[in-house]
Amino acid sequence: MPKYYEEKEEDGRACAGVREDLIQCLLETPCVIQEGKNPRQCLKEGHCRSLQVSFFECKRSMVSDCFDCFLVFVANVFFSERF
C-alpha cells in the first residue's frame, strides 16, 4: 500500500513519495531480508516492479514538462527576434 500520503518529513526532491515507497518495498523483500542481497540487485531481478515503473514515469514526466517549457521559451525568443 502506498505510503506517500502519510505524514512524513518533507523531501523537496521530485517524486519523493514514490521514491520512498520504492526504497521501503525493496528493503522489505525476501531478496534483501532473507537472501542478504543489495537492494539494487533485487531491483534488477524484478522486485517491486510496479513501484519502479511508477517512479520512472514520475521522473520522465518531470523531464518532459521541463523540455516543453524549454521549447516554448526557445520559440518565444526566436519569433520575438525575427518579427
Residue 4's contacts (CB-CB under 8 Å, 6 or more residues apart) are 16, 17, 18, 20, 21
- The pTM of the full predicted model, rounded to 2 decimals, is 0.66
Which pLDDT score is estimated for 2? 54
Which pLDDT score is estimated for 75? 74
Which pLDDT score is estimated for 6? 57
Domain ranges for the chain? 16-82
**CA-CA distance, 51 to 22, in Å (whole number)?**
6
**CA-CA distance, 64 to 40, in Å (whole number)?**
26
Burial of residue 18 (CB within 10 Å: 0-12, 13-18, 19+) is buried
Which pLDDT score is estimated for 11? 66
Reported as a single tens digit per residue, the pLDDT across 19-74 is 999 999 999 999 999 999 999 999 999 999 999 999 998 888 877 666 767 777 77
